[in-house]
A and B are shown apart, each in its own frame.
Chain A
Amino acid sequence: MIPRPPALRFALLGGLLFATVRATAPVPLAPTAPPSVDRADLDLVDRALLAGVDRSATARARLVALGRDLRLADDNDPVALERQARALGLTRSDPVLRHHLGDLLTLAAATVPSSDLPDEATLRAYHARRVAAWTTPPRVRFTHVYLSRAQRGAAVERDAAETLAGLRARGVAPADAAGRGDPFARGARVGPLDDAAVAALFGPTFAARLPTLPAGQWAGPLDSPYGLHLVWVEAYLPAAAPPFERVRGQVLHAWLRERSATRAVP
């Protein structure tokens, strides 16, 4: 066999491989233009290589398969096969790989070589402009003593007033109030929850009145679809914006997503 330089060997064998694939591929449902190498394709491949997407599992598997078909290593070692395939430039010239890398870039629409990531200042500024997206709404933690209308009927208002008076007079702490009322399926100690979550459990009337209660004392009764509740607000937690460091990953997600939505890929 006459030794040929690697590029020429690819041109013959790769071309033969390509032709074989073309000949045996099932007839597509509609005519398609055969893949061709042009400047735009190579630009995409170059960007893919720069971004390291040729390290995708599919790309590497394709390189190993090509290396095996071309017998680029004697012992079929995948590492050696891949290395030899890359050395031959198959990443750029194999049509299947080329389109795979191009498709990855096209589908992603936002190539991110390390030089293209936002710097810290950019990311912090982005976070500051959109801090509401990562801000936790105000929340409340409370304990309640529940008096069931189903259990007590018309006496529920009287029972609530008497129980409240008793809780206050004896200085009963929230943790010790468990036995003073009726069982509530959701439990006695709640939260911290925002007002939408409170409404989802206790109804809108309860949720609307809850924020008006002073913290650290028994108050009420508050009305729910189920009965009356004597409430000890343990803490009001104001809206909180976690520090940038805690949400950095989410901020980067959002920044990249927004950038990909505006970036055009040929």
Chain B
Amino acid sequence: MRRWSLLAALLLAACGDSASPPAAPGPSGAPWQRTEERAPCDAFDPLRQPFFGDLHVHTRYSADAAIYGTKADPRDAYDFARGGEIAVSDGGEQPTRRARLARRLDFAAVTDHAEFIGEVDLCSTPASSAYALHICELLRAAEPPGRQFGTIVQWLFPAGVDNPPPSLPFCTTPGIDCDAAAVSVWQEMQAAAEAAYDRSSACGFTSFIGYEHTPSRGGRHMHRNVIFRNHHVPPFAYSQLETAAGGIPQGLWSSIESECLEAGTGCDALLIPHNPNLSDGLQFFDPADAAEAQRRQDREPLVEIFQQKGGSECRFDRLVGRGVGTADELCTYEQLAAAAEVPGQRPPTIDAYPRRNLVRTAVEDGLLFEATLGVNPFQFGFIGSTDTHNATAGNTDERDFAGGQGANDATPARQIDDFLDTNPGGLAVVWAEENSRDALFAALRRRETYATSGARPVLRFFAGGLEGVACGAADFVARAYRTGVPMGGEFGAVRGAASPRFAVLALKDPGTATRPGTDLQRVQIVKAWLDAAGALHERVVDVAGDAGNGADVDPATCAPRGAGAAELCAVWEDPDFAADERAVYYARVLENPTCRWTTFVCKAAGVDPLAADCAAQAAAADPAFADCCLTSADDPFYAPVAQERAWTSPVLYRPESIATLAGEIRFGAGHGRDSVDLTIGIARLPDTVPLASAAIEVELADDDVFFRTTLPAGALTVAGDGSAVLRVSAENLDLAAAERLEHTVTLRLNSGTYRASHSRRWRAITGGLAPEPS
């Protein structure tokens, strides 16, 4: 193994940036700070651009990927993400296959498991003091696929027990320093990310430094990816082995807080939980109190809703005709049978399936906690990713999926026989002004993201007053940012008792010259709400397109057939909206039907799932392909033809959030002559905080906080109908830190556990700035 020396890494770090670079404003109009040295991006759009990426990628540095025979390292993974060709291991763990993306990614993060990275490295390095150990031989051995389970258990079992040991036993042998190796590997992961990151003004590719924190309590996945904003990262990748004593995930939260967020080094990070569908309900547990709920909301703004190990949006069993808290028949999509990987545990029936295994029901439950605690712990944005263990970031095309588990699923027979219910994975899409770490990270944190199941549709979603936003209006996007919030945002009773508006604009995946994108079938809005009696409800509404367009696939060729839409647009109002009922809404876009990856593999193996004589073909073929003939008539979830889809981050309606905002800020002639005059309307006071009799902190921010004041108790004027008005009026201020052009300004109110925000693009007026009146 060849890698940077510790000293080289230190030298190169010193070449570029100081230990604590000063925070600098972003480009004009960007609501985020630039925390790193780089050239400004030539392609900067204040109305934001979509960037496609993968935030969940494993290489041979991960213990399981190494056992599976993956030979590619983080540099190979980034090369692949940027459009390069890399070697992929075959069924004998030899790197004989080649892979290349048809369309490169805009960003990626290699997120190797932090557990045992030192041990893996020592076992993989010929000259190391541990190389000859038996357990290292096990790691390197090219075991038959499917027989690697014993090795997996021997290596990874410690990560699944409470109070795990700090390392594998051989690390205590004198002369073997696994911690030193782990530090070295962690530095190499950083070096690989740095080498891939385009800091030039072309901004062609962004890498994020990251890793996966991998507790699996008895086989119940409670995994999170740690994504760092910039190169200021902790000196060690704190795995479950180091954080277990603090609880799951509280130990990780504490580690990130102390070693990054509060370390004073310029470090910033967020955590992305994934695979709740394999957590047995443990990934999203009840918060102990409002403080813990707030902590989760702050640390985990996103969830990975789709990846190779299935979709976690929702679940519906078509054979019994019931779902988990849903009647949404589209929730059969990409389901794993099991609810966890607990040895001996049988897959649960639909009625016994854990509610918190699913993102939609967790998001719904978040509304309950918001009502009772005042804080929503499950206020997630959505992303997709792959979780590939082949280092093939973003390799999501159904038409040539060659596996994602190293030698385990490197052959068609193995794919069908043992990995039928996995899939190529999804993508994360981020709306950001430019392709740089600060811009993308800010978008991740504010949840202006959506997930895809692997295709690349372009999707906009806004909510709020949206005055003047219309499908035919050329300024659709600009007006939407001025009069509403994008995906991931929150809003109050912006139209009083009348329904807010929801605007969706979707473009199909344009595809490539040889593989055109698939037409869109329809756009839906999924609404979940909490009624006055404390009961949760859910509804799915088609708002654009045609569910009955009759589109299908040519059974002989899998070519999509029938009419669809290249573009769909809708501005929708909720006919059942009730101003006192908190709710979440997200958009789900469906493509026309296309063949699932298994159908392509099976057809190539001579067993055609779409042929009338599939069973006969299977009888004549390798028994590994028997499942090729499964149909929707005999499986609760699987189907040989499916609909790729995308899910926007939800927007959150909170009755007690900021409903109206009017006024302006004025820049006076001379220093210290600026003023603020705002009238803030709240439709309903929160139940959990006595806002009328509490002090309220008010902030205005763009890329930094340029105004902050605390209004004393009683500043809120409460009307007879329970609504309230807060007047903020101050003069002789220094607002020099505020941008002077049209840009996004966020107003925040904080009081105890109460937080509310109002984020819109403010107009530049003569001598000042003002929000669109509402």
User: Which chain A residues have a beta carbon within 8 Å of chain B's beta carbons?
Assistant: 18, 21-22, 25-26, 28-30, 32, 34-35, 51-53, 56-58, 95-96, 98-100, 102-113, 117, 134, 136, 139, 141, 148-151, 178-194, 196, 199-205, 224-227, 237, 240, 242, 246-250, 252-254, 256-257, 260-261, 263, 265-266
Contacts and interface: CB of A to CB of B under 8 A. Distances in A.
A266 B38 CA distance: 39
Interface stretch (B44-52, B290-298, B650-658): B44-52
A200 B456 contact: yes
Contact of A183 (B11, B43, B477): B477
A7 B1 CA distance: 37
Contacts of A247: 200
A18 B173 CA distance: 11
Given A108-B184, A196-B103, A226-B567, A29 B133 contact: yes
A53 B129 CA distance: 18
Interface in B498-515: 505-508, 510-513
Given A107-B121, A187-B45, A203-B511, A26 B129 contact: no
Nearest to A61: B179
B183 interface: yes
A266 B126 CA distance: 10
Given A183-B472, A257-B195, 10 more contacts: A51-B5, A103-B129, A103-B176, A103-B177, A107-B181, A183-B505, A187-B477, A200-B510, A204-B513, A226-B510
Interface in B523-580: 565-569
A32 B133 contact: yes
Contact of B510 (A187, A192, A199): A199
14 contacts: A22-B174, A26-B172, A53-B6, A99-B175, A104-B6, A136-B202, A139-B42, A182-B474, A183-B472, A183-B476, A190-B43, A200-B103, A253-B4, A260-B3
Given A21-B174, A29-B170, A225 B566 contact: yes
Contacts of A108: 3-8, 184
A18 B174 contact: yes
A60 to B, nearest CB: 12
B254 interface: no
Contacts of B720: none
A191 B474 CA distance: 19
Looking at A185, A202, A247, A248, the one whose CB has the most chain B CB atoms below 10 A away is A185
Contacts of B737: none
Given A29-B134, A226-B507, A246-B200, A103 B128 contact: yes
Contacts, number: 241
Given A56-B180, A249-B12, A201 B458 contact: yes
Given A18-B174, A185-B458, A187-B47, A106 B510 contact: no
Contacts of A35: 129, 174-175
Given A185-B459, A194-B204, A96 B177 contact: yes
Interface string B95-137: 0000000011000000000000000011001011100111100
Nearest to A248: B15
B312 to A, nearest CB: 26
A191 B43 contact: yes
A109 B3 CA distance: 6
Contacts of A266: 127
Contact of A201 (B172, B472, B476, B510): B510
Contact of A136 (B45, B204, B506): B204
Given A108-B4, A224-B510, A186 B49 contact: yes
A202 B507 CA distance: 10
Contacts of A117: 11
A253 B195 contact: yes
A104 B180 contact: yes
A103 B178 CA distance: 10
Contacts of A22: 174
A186 B48 CA distance: 8
B205 to A, nearest CB: 11
B150 interface: no
B617 to A, nearest CB: 36
B235 interface: yes
Contacts of B478: 178
Contact of A105 (B5, B52, B83, B458): B5
Nearest to A179: B474
Contacts of B48: 187
B505 to A, nearest CB: 5
Contacts of B169: 26, 28-29
A30 B4 contact: no
B288 to A, nearest CB: 35
Contacts of A179: 474-475
A246 B37 CA distance: 11
B413 interface: no
B512 A192 contact: no
